[in-house]
């Protein structure tokens, strides 16, 4: 079965292409490489044993979508393509609303026009803001977004919910990702941030590799056991497999109008300090870090209740944080070798 994967050359997208292939699907990548590198295609070929199918175009274009959906006989879509930098989204709100929501609307219209029913949408635990009760379930109230990026995820979910409620023949799942980390154990694909990484793990691995002088831990006076923030770090391959489980669930569903949201995390909260210490153990490297002030917009703690995804999708994260950090470190060393 042919599955369109928009943003399939990105971090989560590329790992999902591998998981889809392993599960017997035929992924068709649509990616304009605005925030990914062509080299990911070689990495995918190395893992999968054949060249990935790729359309190097922008997914905001109706003609492009129509042509690919028809040419490739697409039966389902996984929509990753989006801008994702929280800080940048505040500087460039119109670019973010246009790219993240404009492309979603065009995609939905084209799916309806071409008779494609199944869609998985990339949402984020950012919709829960600073939750009062942990872990967060899918019933936990959504909070007003604290960034334009977060707002594009919330509005994206609303667009999907409203579209399905209007009675179309669409079956849609929004997956609310917690913090994806790690890389493929082959070190052929992984996270490739451009410039100074905003996210914790690439900053840690680049510091350990000597590319950055030191990591700053943002805040050590939070009301948590060690004073640092708590997140739910999930191996990107577990996250990738959640997309396959969600797709299989949609394909089996024998109603033709459906929308729901699922948390995709491990269910375990890990602090920044615990993560740094675990990285040191796993890599055998002492990490140069210092304690710094809080980063604005960060929440104290968020981790997932994963009962709903386990019960309904039959999916659970299988890999440990240790394994994710070991894979991220192996990947970092592989990129350092390639660029040497």
Q: Annotated active-site positions, please?
A: 149
- Angle 293-295-299 (CA atoms, 0-180°, nearest 5)? 115
Which of 8, 129, 150, 269 is close enough to bind ligand UD1 by CB under 6 A? 150
72/88 with CB nearer ligand UD1: 88
Contact 3, 77 (CB under 8 A): yes
Cis peptide before 135 (omega within 30 of 0): yes
Which of 26, 92, 295, 308 is close enough to bind ligand UD1 by CB under 6 A? 295
Q: Which of helix, strand or coil describes residue 26?
A: strand
> Which two structure tokens, joined as six digits, stand for 254?
């024998």
User: Quick check: 220 binds ligand UD1 (CB under 6 A)?
Assistant: no
User: Quick check: 297 binds ligand UD1 (CB under 6 A)?
Assistant: yes
User: Quick check: 179 binds ligand UD1 (CB under 6 A)?
Assistant: yes
Which of 112, 218, 253, 336 is close enough to bind ligand UD1 by CB under 6 A? 218
User: Quick check: 229 binds ligand UD1 (CB under 6 A)?
Assistant: yes
User: Quick check: 203 binds ligand UD1 (CB under 6 A)?
Assistant: yes
Contact 16, 47 (CB under 8 A): no
User: Quick check: 60 binds ligand UD1 (CB under 6 A)?
Assistant: no
Alpha helices in the chain (DSSP H): 11-22, 39-48, 62-71, 86-91, 93-96, 103-114, 148-165, 200-208, 236-252, 272-283, 307-308, 321-339
User: Quick check: 276 binds ligand UD1 (CB under 6 A)?
Assistant: no
The residues, ordered by sequence, that sit 6+ positions from 139 with a Cβ below 8 Å of its Cβ are none
Residue with tokens 């990548």: 29
Residue with tokens 């800080």: 87
Contact 192, 36 (CB under 8 A): yes
Instruction: Say how far apart CA 151 and CA 199 lie, in whole Å.
Output: 19
> Which residue, judged by CB position, is nearest to ligand UD1 in the bound state?
229
Measured from the Cβ of residue 202, the count of other Cβ atoms closer than 10 Å reads 22
Which of positions 321-340 make contact with ligand UD1 (CB under 6 A)?
A: none
60/220 with CB nearer ligand UD1: 220
Q: How far is the CB of 294 from ligand UD1 (least distance, A)?
A: 7
User: Quick check: 309 binds ligand UD1 (CB under 6 A)?
Assistant: no
β-bridge pairing 270-271 and 230-231: antiparallel
User: Quick check: 303 binds ligand UD1 (CB under 6 A)?
Assistant: no
Residue with tokens 């793990």: 201
Which of 217, 240, 306, 321 is close enough to bind ligand UD1 by CB under 6 A? 217
Instruction: Say how far apart CA 216 and CA 275 lie, in whole Å.
Output: 13
Instruction: Say how far apart CA 274 and CA 286 lie, in whole Å.
Output: 14
Q: How far is the CB of 21 from ligand UD1 (least distance, A)?
A: 25
Measured from the Cβ of residue 258, the count of other Cβ atoms closer than 10 Å reads 16
Which of positions 180-199 make contact with ligand UD1 (CB under 6 A)?
A: 198-199
User: Quick check: 215 binds ligand UD1 (CB under 6 A)?
Assistant: yes
Q: How far is the CB of 298 from ligand UD1 (least distance, A)?
A: 4
> Which two structure tokens, joined as six digits, stand for 214?
């030191």
Going residue by residue from 84 to 123, which x/- string records binding to ligand UD1, judged by CB under 6 A? x-x-------------------------------------
199/211 with CB nearer ligand UD1: 199
Q: How far is the CB of 182 from ligand UD1 (least distance, A)?
A: 13
User: Quick check: 285 binds ligand UD1 (CB under 6 A)?
Assistant: no
Contact range with ligand UD1 by CB under 6 A, out of 24-32, 211-219, 303-311, 332-340: 211-219
Nearest one of 31, 146, 142 to 80, comparing CA atoms: 31
Judged by the rule CB under 6 A, the positions of this chain that interact with ligand UD1 are 84, 86, 124, 126, 150, 179, 198-200, 203, 215-218, 229, 231, 272, 295, 297-298
């Amino acid at each position: 079965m042919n599955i369109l994967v928009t943003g399939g050359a990105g971090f989560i997208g590329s790992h999902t292409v591998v998981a889809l292939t392993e599960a017997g699907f035929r992924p068709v990548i649509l990616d304009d490489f605005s925030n990914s590198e062509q080299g990911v295609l070689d990495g995918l070929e190395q893992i999968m044993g054949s060249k990935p199918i790729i359309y190097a175009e922008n997914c905001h274009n109706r003609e492009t979508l129509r042509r690919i959906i028809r040419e490739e006989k697409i039966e389902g879509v996984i929509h990753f393509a989006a801008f994702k930098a929280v800080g940048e989204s505040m500087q460039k709100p119109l670019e973010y609303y246009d790219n993240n929501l404009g492309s979603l609307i065009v995609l939905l219209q084209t799916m309806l026009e071409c008779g494609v029913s199944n869609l998985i949408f990339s949402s984020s635990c950012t919709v829960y803001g600073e939750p009062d009760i942990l872990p967060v379930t899918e019933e936990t109230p959504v909070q007003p977004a604290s960034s334009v990026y977060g707002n594009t995820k919330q509005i994206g979910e609303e667009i999907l919910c409203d579209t399905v409620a209007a009675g179309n023949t669409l079956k849609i799942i929004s997956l609310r990702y917690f913090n994806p980390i790690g890389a493929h154990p082959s070190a052929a694909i992984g996270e490739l941030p451009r410039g100074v990484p905003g996210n914790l793990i690439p900053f840690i691995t680049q510091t350990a590799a000597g590319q950055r002088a030191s990591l700053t831990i943002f805040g050590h006076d939070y009301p948590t056991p060690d004073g640092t923030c708590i997140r739910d770090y999930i191996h990107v391959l577990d996250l990738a497999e959640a997309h396959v489980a969600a797709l299989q669930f949609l394909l089996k569903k024998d109603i033709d109008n459906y929308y729901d949201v699922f948390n995709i995390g491990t269910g375990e909260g890990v602090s920044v300090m615990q993560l740094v210490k675990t990285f040191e153990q796993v890599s055998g490297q002492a990490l140069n870090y210092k304690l710094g002030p809080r980063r604005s917009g960060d929440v104290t703690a968020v981790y997932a209740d994963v009962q709903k995804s386990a019960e309904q999708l039959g999916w659970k994260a299988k890999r440990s944080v240790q394994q994710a950090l070991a894979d991220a470190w192996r990947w970092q060393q592989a990129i350092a070798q390639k660029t040497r």
